A and B are shown apart, each in its own frame.
Chain A
Amino acid sequence: METMTPAEFGWFLPTNGDGRQLTSSGLPGPRLQPVDQRASTLDYLGMIARAADLAGFDTLMIPTAAGYEDPWLIASALAAQTRNIECLVTLRPGTEHPDHVVHKARTLQHLSAQRVHLQLVGGASVMEQQALGDFHDHDARYARIARLLGAFRKQWPELEHGPDAAQLPRFYCGGASPAAEQLAAVQGDIYLMWGEPPQMIAERIRRMRGLAAQAGRQLRFGLRLHLFAAPTSEQAWRQVSRLVAEIPPASIASARQLMERYDSVEQQRQLRLRVEGEQAHLRKLEVSPNLWAGVGLVRGGAGTALVGSYDEVAQRISEYRELGVSHFSFSGYPHLEEALHVGEALLPRLRRG
């Protein structure tokens, strides 16, 4: 077993709403949102941020997409409400001038006492990109990210110097296309992946290490996963079974249609993990021990979850750690209660491992 980089455990901030159901957050479209939804008000998001901070999470992932609050504004508004947790702010370049993005990042870094890092995304939904006025194709969008990161690395040391200088944020990059992989290898600090079976993750880490080495660099690796952990395995699977039973059947079909149109190799990989057809058989969606692909039935983006007892989930995470993953961004439903629950029941096990 190789020497492991110290692990970093993060929590997800559901800035388009939250609730107890799989359809509560992170959806392709608002029409799938259920009743009893918790609105993503600043007060509610602040409670989640403070809970995650209190629970001992290292990072708070703040996403971006249509229907989500702007991640920069959220990070700014919540900066004074947390003490230690660092924000992973999602940035989708294209509609702001690079100099302006650097300006924003400097402002936010100072505002947050150096607790901001950036997650770069290309924009998976062509419909959304064109609604924003961006008509670049997939590879051109990644070339644009590369230029932005170049602007950061050039301008930052010129603008930030002296004893109060803000640190350059870490750059988290994801994506499974050749363009995305090349960008991460050459310019990223952490390569982020959505949860996949360990052998698939191992293969990707091997390939990315090779690409990074060609550029004379080293990469860290991160994984985005939902969690359904309970004292016993049976309790965890019962919980998941209830969640699946609550999904309106039509939602599964319409969500799949939407996700199939995403211009994202990573999204297509998530879709292929699941069985074909609209019938959601609970354990058939367990694509490797305790790794369940059922979240992706109705949720775009990360669609897999670790399901099991605390010990089982901790064991699976330990296996990913041994492969080389050192950053994890988790979520659970609802995100407020689960931040505290996971923080209390699971994080200590993970830190001991």
Chain B
Amino acid sequence: MTTLHIGWQLLTGKSPVALDMLLRQAIQLADIAEYAGIDALHLPHCPGHPEPLTLAAAISARTRRLQLLVGVSQSWLQPSALVVQVQSLQVLSGNRAQLFLQDDAGQGFTAALNADQRRACNAEYLRLIMTLLEHAPEQSLSFHGEYYQLERAEHILRAVPAPPLWCSAARYDRQAALHVRHCLLGVERPDKLAGLIQEYRQVARGHGRRLYCHVALELIARPSEQEAWTLAAELIEREPGSEGDDAVLALRPEPVRQHEFYPNLLRCPRTGKVLLVGDYAQVAMRLGELQDIGVDGVLLSSSQAVEQCLGFAEQVIPLLARQERAVWKP
């Protein structure tokens, strides 16, 4: 029996690596994720990194099963452009596309909007793309909103399945609840996380919908606990941070496990991201525990992606399967 939905995501943020190398790494990771039986690959939109729709198309041509979770933003793509491209990607990939609506950072098309305007624009954008994606092409469709207008959009639409939508917890509101199927929550202690999951699911149930809740974890899984924590310490040491943070940390160096807020869950002091650290059995146990409190899936990542992805597939997934939890039904 399958257990948790397992996704892998490309690391983003400022990178010293050139775009050419990032592309090759991404494609290599896609090959490995497909081979390893990972369910989905998340391709976030980030300047300096491969453009996710373009990358998704390349990956779709060399994979058959891997779901492609593509990061999109209204800052860069008008609703019609997004929908036309996504419908093409659905055809090319055999309906394996999923869309992650990234938080609006006030760039590109939305750079000139204030916070309230961006919120209103976000809501209109979401409403319009879902209208376009779910529209039956034989019916006429025009839209005249405050931020977006189009006439007779049926001329550019096709009858392909609408991809599932994802968003972050920060973006999940009553409007999003009408359309979004998957929500990425911040990682907290399981007892607190369980309460958050219930809250978000309550909002979805109010619209007659089921919400799938996911968390993102950077993975350090090794044959031994000691090996894993040594790697974690090295990673934290390498994490970029402000000069102020570095100065404070230098005054008071702490063992890495001081940042462990729950067994095997470590929050990086500089970046705030959460690592899952342990031997394979511990990692499997912790993931099982997350699933028990209602987490439907995890988006894993690693700076040593090839090694961690393959190790996870070969060592952790069999342990998860033996835990006999609920079958994933996306």
Q: Which residues of A contact B (CB under 8 A)?
A: 41-42, 46, 66-67, 69-70, 72-74, 76-81, 94-97, 99-100, 103-104, 106-108, 110-111, 127-128, 130-133, 135, 162, 164, 166
| Residue in B23, B80, B153 whose beta carbon sits within 8 Å of that of A110 in the complex | B23
Q: Establish whether residues A131 and B58, one from each chain, have CB atoms under 8 Å apart when the complex forms.
A: no
When the two chains form their complex, are residues B57 and A73 in contact, meaning their CB atoms are under 8 A apart?
yes
In the bound assembly, the distance between CA atoms of A100 and B75 in angstroms comes to 9
Closest-CB distance, B13 to chain A (whole angstroms): 16
**Can you offer 18 A-B residue contacts whose CB atoms are under 8 A?**
A46-B61, A69-B88, A69-B91, A73-B57, A74-B92, A80-B61, A80-B62, A95-B78, A97-B77, A97-B108, A99-B76, A103-B47, A107-B50, A108-B51, A127-B151, A128-B155, A133-B78, A162-B18
Across the A-B interface, give the 5 residue pairs with the lowest CB-CB distance, nearest first.
A95-B81, A100-B76, A73-B57, A70-B88, A76-B57
Residues facing A in B46-88 (CB within 8 A) are 47, 50-51, 53-58, 60-62, 75-81, 84-85, 88
Whether B51 contacts A127 by the Cβ 8 Å rule is no
Chain B residues near A42: list those with CB within 8 A.
60-61, 92
**A77, A97, A162: which contacts B60 (Cβ < 8 A)?**
A77
Cα separation A127 to B57 with both chains bound (whole Å) = 28
Tell me the bound Cα distance from A78 to B60 in angstroms: 10
Question: Taking beta carbons and an 8 Å cutoff, which residues of B are in contact with A?
Answer: 18-21, 23, 47, 50-51, 53-58, 60-62, 75-81, 84-85, 88-89, 91-92, 108-109, 148-156, 158
A73 and B109 in contact, given A42-B92, A66-B155, A131-B156 (Cβ under 8 angstroms): no
Instruction: Choose one: A77, A95, A99, A166; the contact of B20 (CB below 8 Å).
Output: A166
Give every chain A residue within 8 A of B92 (Cβ-Cβ). Answer: 42, 69, 73-74, 77
Query: Across the interface, do B23 and A133 meet the contact criterion of CB distance under 8 Å?
Result: no
In the complex the two chains form, what is the Cα distance from A72 to B149 in whole Å? Answer: 25
Interface centre among B55, B154, B156 (most CB of A within 10 A): B156
Task: List chain B residues, Cβ under 8 A from A78.
Answer: 61
| CB-based contact A77/B61 at 8 Å | yes
Shortest distance from the beta carbon of A288 to any chain B beta carbon, whole Å = 35
Query: Given A96-B77, A132-B78, are A77 and B152 neighbors across the interface (CB < 8 Å)?
Result: no
- Residues of chain B with a CB closer than 8 A to A164's CB: 18, 20-21
| B62 closest partner in A (C-beta) | A80
Q: A111-B23, A135-B149 are in contact. Are A104 and B51 (CB under 8 A)?
A: yes
One of A80, A94, A107, A132 near B51 (C-beta < 8 A): A107
C-alpha spacing A290/B107, complex, angstroms = 53
CA distance A97 to B109 in the complex (A): 7
Knowing A130-B152, A131-B155 are in contact, say whether A100-B108 is a contact too (CB < 8 A).
yes
On whether the beta carbons of B85 and A73 are closer than 8 Å, the reply is yes
A267 → chain B closest CB, angstroms: 17
Q: Are B85 and A97 in contact (CB under 8 A)?
A: no
Contact B76 A110 (CB under 8 A): no
Chain B binding surface, main DSSP class? helix
Q: Which of B62, B109, B150 contacts A132 (CB 8 A)?
A: B150
B150 touches A73 (CB 8 A): no
CA distance A41 to B94 in the complex (A): 10
In the complex, residue of chain B having the shortest beta-carbon distance to the beta carbon of A70: B88
Return chain B residues, CB-CB under 8 Å to A69. Answer: 88, 91-92
Flag if A111 contacts B78 (CB, 8 Å): no
Instruction: Kindly state the separation between the CA atoms of A303 and B23 in the bound complex, as whole angstroms.
Output: 39
A42 to B92, CA, bound (A): 6
Contact B20 A70 (CB under 8 A): no
Q: How far is the CB of B35 from chain A (nearest CB, A)?
A: 17
Say yes or no: A107-B55 contact (C-beta < 8 A), given A73-B85, A77-B61, A78-B61. Answer: yes
Contacting pair B89 A73 (CB below 8 A): yes
In the complex, what distance in Å separates the CA atom of A174 from the CA atom of B51? 27
Q: Which of B23, B60, B109, B151 contacts A130 (CB 8 A)?
A: B151
Assuming the A-B contacts A77-B92, A97-B76, A131-B80, are A70 and B23 also in contact, with contact meaning beta carbons closer than 8 angstroms in the complex?
no
For A128, the chain B residues whose CB sits under 8 A away are 155-156
- Residue ID in chain A nearest B153 by CB atoms: A131
Q: Are A110 and B20 in contact (CB under 8 A)?
A: yes
Whether A76 contacts B152 by the Cβ 8 Å rule is no
B58: nearest chain-A partner, CB-CB = A76
Chain A CB within 10 Å — which of B56, B62, B75, B76 has the most?
A: B76
CB pair A107 B54 closer than 8 Å: yes
Q: Give the chain B neighbours of A107 by CB distance below 8 A.
A: 19, 23, 50-51, 54-55
Find chain A residues with CB under 8 A from B47 CB.
Answer: 103
A96 nearest CB across to chain B (Å): 5
Q: Which residues of B contact A66 (CB under 8 A)?
A: 155-156
Contact A72 B156 (CB under 8 A): no
Question: Smallest distance from the beta carbon of A263 to chain B beta carbons, Å?
Answer: 14
CA separation between A130 and B141, bound complex, in Å?
Answer: 11
Specify the chain A residue showing the minimal Cβ separation from B152: A131
Asked whether A81 lies within 8 Å of B156 as measured between CB atoms, the reply is no
Contacts of A162 in B (CB 8 A): 18
On whether the beta carbons of B54 and A132 are closer than 8 Å, the reply is no
| Known pairs A106-B19, A110-B20, A128-B155; A70 contacts B61 (CB<8 A) | no
B19, B56, B148: residue with the most chain A Cβ atoms closer than 10 Å:
B19
- With CB as the reference atom, state the residue of chain A lying closest to B108: A97
